[in-house]
Structure 1
Amino acid sequence: MKKKILYRWLKLFILIYCIIGIAIYYGQNKVLFHPQPVTEHSQYSFPYPFKEVNLPYTKHSNINIIQFTANQPQPKGVVLYFHGNKENITHYAKAAPDFTSRGYDVWMIDYPGFGKSTGEFTEKQLYDWALVFYKLAKAKYAKDSIIIYGKSMGTGIASQLATIRDCKALVLESPYYSFPSIIGSWLPVYPVNNMIKFKIPTWQYLKEVTNPVVIFHGTSDYTIPIRNSKKLIPYLKPTDMYIPVDGGGHNDLPTFPVYKEKLDSLLK
């Protein structure tokens, strides 16, 4: 009798395990990415000076970029900002003054399906677009005045770009070891490396980055736990900086003094 009951519970456990695994596999894009597209005729409105740029990439895809202007006639350089997995540039525009107030232009790019950007959303496409983004900046700015900046999801894309192009520094806000590792942090019983299609192995890219690297991560980040990004430390150079922000969450790091002080030093 006990064996029958145990067998039934085992079957139920296996069934639930399989259902959750199937849901993760087929629904992973909806779990990982939350884009908010807008029509090409929509008018953006920001409380800071900006210019909108649309780059036709193919017949069926368009790269949308918002360029926020520094608060001085001659900018010190440009920050190429790769944002997170939510909505579009309008959700991240509030970060622009952190850089424009320090004399830097800041350019933000929307990924395929985000905002006015259109096209196929694949890992390769993200890397290809990042390179186009960099080349656009390089036509105007010297490489030693370009900051490559990634936030959350954008940190892996920024890191990959920094392996193939030079910059003043690579700055990562709340990064991750890899995409599968994020899911693995919460569901360690699943073979996530085989299940998650998007890999974006930040750890692998950091091994190849020769430019200075600065990492910020909040100790109270519950979206990407700090334990995940701490696994990146062995791949940093001795001169790189990993800065834990005590009490910082996933979206409030710019409000902390340690972030402001380091950004002042980096963008002086």
Structure 2
Amino acid sequence: MKNKQKLFKRVKLFIVCYCLVGTALFYLQDKLLFRPTALPPNSTFHFTQPFTEANISLDAATKFNIVQFTPGKPYDSARGVVLYFHGNKENVNHYQQYASAFTRNNYEVWMPDYPGYGKSTGTFSEAVLYEEALQVYKLARTKYRPDQIVVYGKSLGSGIAAQLASIRDCRELVLETPYYSFTSLVRLVAFIYPVSLLSHYKIPTNQYLEKVTAPVTIFHGTRDWTIPYFHAKRLKASLKPTDEFITIDGGGHNNLFSYDRVQKKIDTLLSR
């Protein structure tokens, strides 16, 4: 009898803990998954390369702030634009270091901040992320043809970039450290929960890639502990025969731009 009572108490404790953790995951997932740093609307960016800012107002509460890095001299006009959708950390201040890889090839680089990141405002949601990407693309189309627009996504931004390229024409889609889907990524750490029901975000990158007609290039490192290499490798099944999945041996989640192979490949993509 005592053994049965002990077992019952343990099962009861497990169920209580399971429910408490599951409830926390449901209500606190945004704080666990995303690490934005907001900035005052009148704050000033200090970058070493030329840039301008643009704002897109979706509604009274939602404004998308875009930092537009330009090639500068000796170029009179850019060959095209890279729409760069960044990861889940901080804001454009954290990602501006990567702009020079594109501006040196005579491309503008437009980096929008998501709602709650930098100077962007509004409610953060999957639908809003897609709408922001579409609005940034529409703004780019007022200046550039589709064959002059490169869509680039890093980490969190990879799914957003893939969704945009699945509904709009572009010159190239480039994904850095992408995930198979947001749901399956979360399932890696919360596998005992019904993640598909608990998660506010689905972002099925694999499904979007199947609809992309533009050339696709993916970079992923074998020592990426944030989005594991084996997880991203599943995306190969969604690629066209002419697309590329480039493995960076020893590459991590945030250091791929330090590899010559990545730099040279980006140079090649932008020059062809």
Aligned twin of 1:74: 77
Preserved CA contact (<8 Å) 2:56 2:135 = no
* Among 246, 251, 255, the residue aligned to 2:258: 255
Aligned twin of 2:57: 56
Aligned twin of 1:238: 241
Q: TM-score, normalised by structure 2?
A: 0.95
> Unmatched 5+ residue regions in structure 1?
none
Aligned twin of 2:118: 115
* Among 91, 96, 105, the residue aligned to 2:94: 91
Preserved CA contact (<8 Å) 2:152 2:175 = yes
Aligned twin of 2:139: 136
User: How much is the aligned-residue C-alpha RMSD, in angstroms?
Assistant: 1.2
* Among 138, 151, 161, the residue aligned to 2:164: 161
Shift of 1:141: 1.1
Secondary structure, counterpart of 2:188 in structure 1: helix
Aligned amino acid, residue 69 of structure 1: T
- 1:35 and 2:19 aligned: no
Range 182-191 or range 159-168, more displaced: 182-191
Shift of 1:58: 1.7
Shift of 1:73: 2.5
Q: TM-score, normalised by structure 1?
A: 0.96
Preserved CA contact (<8 Å) 1:185 1:228 = no
Q: 1:187 to 1:59 in 2, by over 3 A?
A: closer
Range 185-194 or range 166-175, more displaced: 185-194
Moved over 4 A (4+): none
User: Aligned partners of 1:187 and 1:54: how far apart in 2?
Assistant: 37
- 1:176 and 2:179 aligned: yes
> Unmatched 5+ residue regions in structure 2?
none
Q: How many pairs were matched up? A: 268
Secondary structure, counterpart of 2:261 in structure 1: helix
- Residues 132-157 of structure 1 deviation map (CA, whole Å, 9 limit, x = unaligned): 10011111111111100000101111
Aligned twin of 1:210: 213
Preserved CA contact (<8 Å) 2:63 2:120 = yes
